[in-house]
Amino acid sequence: MKIISEVKSHDGRQLVIRHASSTTRCKMTFALFLPPGEGPFPVVWYLSGLTCSHANVMEKGEYRRIASELGVAIVCPDTSPRGNTIPDSTPDDWQFGQGAGFYIDATTPPYVQNYQMYSYVMKELPELLFAAYPLAPNRQGIFGHSMGGHGAMVLALRNPGVFKSCSAFAPITQPSTAAWSQRAFREYLGSDESSWREWDSVCLIEDGARIDSLLVDQGDADAFLNDGLRPQLLAKACADAHINLTLRMQPGYDHSYYFISSFMPEHIRWHAARLAA
């Protein structure tokens, strides 16, 4: 791993790191914030949304002050493999391809060779980080925004022993049936829609996956609320499964980082409380 940049912020270290990934078969870049102190630190993974990279939340998410105060490390992976040799969608299609990996492991060509974001975030990147930095593997949480909220919930539901906390900002709750994500699932996973269920948080809950609790903030002025996000589907699935969901509809907020940064401190406090030693 090569440190591309390092700056001091709120007495902690904001790093941007690049490495060659054997999982995605390309160079990957991620952000890591280490709070002051020696560690080992609890770590919270933040998964970004469509069109984003590691940089969006690092520059606009406003997480460092509260993370430094609470002694929590924050990891921000990229959203997909990248490079001239990586299969991509057309330039005007932002709903799959580079910048839109959906945190799944593709099974169909040509995407199967590189689009293995679930395995990258779940396996390869943690192994590298825990070997190199003072992070506590037994105290991990995960959250994200939109496509990243979908990814966070799927990773938590599929790995309940790994993540002790999970939250989301405006997550895509049922991507297998949402118009703006169905194409990505078809491109990455093929036409057998039954195979899509293991990458869909609502379907996972319906099929028996469980987590203890979940915090979701959703702006009621979000332009994608009714077509892509549909928090009511998650609310019903959690109610039926007796999962403790705190769903907060935030008046007047949209889908942007103005929304995310407004509630970022509350989410990091949520995770810190559940990751306390």
The residue from 150, 167, 222, 267 that is catalytic is 222
Q: Shortest CA distance to 148 belongs to which of 170, 119, 129?
A: 170
Cα(100)–Cα(81) distance, integer angstroms: 9
Whether 176 is a known active-site residue: answer no
Give the pairing type, strands 2-9 and 135-145. unpaired
- Of 146, 167, 176, 201, the active-site residue reads 146
**222 flagged as catalytic:** yes
Annotated active-site residue 146? The verdict is: yes
> Cα–Cα distance between 77 and 266 in angstroms, integer?
21
Helix (H) or strand (E) holding 154: helix 147-158
List, in sequence order, every beta strand (DSSP E) within the chain: 2-9, 12-21, 26-34, 41-47, 73-76, 135-145, 163-169, 213-219, 244-250
Q: Is the peptide bond before 35 cis (omega within 30 degrees of 0)?
A: no
How would you class 91 by CB atoms within 10 Å of its CB: exposed for 0-12, middle for 13-18, buried for 19 or more? exposed
The catalytically annotated residue of 150, 255, 267, 271 is 255
Task: Write out the catalytic residue numbers.
Answer: 146, 222, 255
